[in-house]
Amino acid sequence: MARVIRFHRHGGPEVLRIEAVDVAPPAPGEVQIRVRALGLNRAEALLRTGTYIETAKFPSGLGLEAAGIVEAVGEDVTGFAPGDKVSIVPPLSMARWPAYAELANFPAEMVVKHPSALGFEAAAAMWMQYLTAYGALVDVAGLGQGDVVVITAASSSVGLAAIQIANRVGAVPIALTRTSAKRRALLDAGATEVIASEEEDIGSRLGEIAGSNVVKVVFDAVGGPAFEPLTAAMAPGGILIEYGGLSPGPTPFPLFTVLSKSLTLRGYLVHEIIRDPARLARAKAFIVDGLSDGTLKPIIARTFPFEEIVEAHRFLETNMQFGKIVVTI
């Protein structure tokens, strides 16, 4: 028997329960992990509330990121042995391979031996944020030396990962955040400039910081009315990558700006990297190299014990965190 976290109906954090269940041995092609730490993601709150791209079947597990020790390996699995310290690339289905558990099975291709100096908490916090940001900025947009990139929701784990990756490739990251409360922390995290969208005019500030028509990439998790000043600041041929929809307001389509500058507005999900072995291999190499040389370093906002998963989800939904929320077992 092992403790797992499940929910039997959609709802708020209070629907999460810790239950004892029998965990099956790893199937062929799977690796069983004794989990030591979990990384929390907004996707898990969406699955819990019934608003995710995947549909839960009750009772449902959840969770996309974990780090721990290999407990057992299934048939046809090579390269892993009991006792190996590993972390998990988010699988395509968290309902099929949920991570919120003391003992969990994952596809072997999603299991990675992370750098030996990386602790379990940092290892559990890294894959979703860095894969999401790398896939958008490097794989899709081709961000490089001297390119200006605007990063919205910059204090989220993905936003902070994007800042680090932009600096690693020599780009110029401009961080957007709602208020100036996190300005100093974002600058310390590597942002070249910070714009507080609820306190400053985005278009005017971008003009002051970077000049007009120079932003090559916008990496946006928000949508909403900011689309207009963001696209107005973009360089001809620039690309706006949308990976979220946090704004409660409608998102305008800036038709004439898009036409006059030949802009690309592109939806993006990290799944397109995860499901492509060649792209995933390149992403893994970039991330592991960055973790090894210190240019990439997960920022952890707060840790909670496994028994406080409800409180951890409540904190997740406050949007007050700076970086990743981690649960330890």
Say what the pLDDT of residue 216 is. Answer: 96
Inter-CA distances, 297 with 122, 179, 227, 286, Å: 8, 24, 30, 13
The angle that helices 127-134 and 157-168 make with each other, rounded to 10 degrees, is 50
Say what the pLDDT of residue 228 is. Answer: 93
Say what the pLDDT of residue 247 is. Answer: 79
CATH topology of domain 2-126+298-328: Quinone Oxidoreductase; Chain A, domain 1 (3.90.180)
Say what the pLDDT of residue 118 is. Answer: 87
The CATH code of the domain at 130-271 is 3.40.50.720
DSSP E strand stretches across 63-131:
65-73, 85-88, 103-107, 111-112
Say what the pLDDT of residue 244 is. Answer: 86
**What is the per-residue pLDDT across 18-41, written as a single tens digit (0 to 9) for each?**
999 999 999 999 999 999 999 999
The low-confidence residues of the chain, meaning pLDDT below 70, are 212
Say what the pLDDT of residue 29 is. Answer: 96
DSSP E strand stretches across 118-158:
148-151
pTM of the complete model beyond 0.85: yes
Indicate the domain borders of the chain.
Answer: 2-126+298-328, 130-271
Contact in structure between 131 and 91 (CB atoms under 8 Å): no
Say what the pLDDT of residue 121 is. Answer: 95
Say what the pLDDT of residue 117 is. Answer: 81
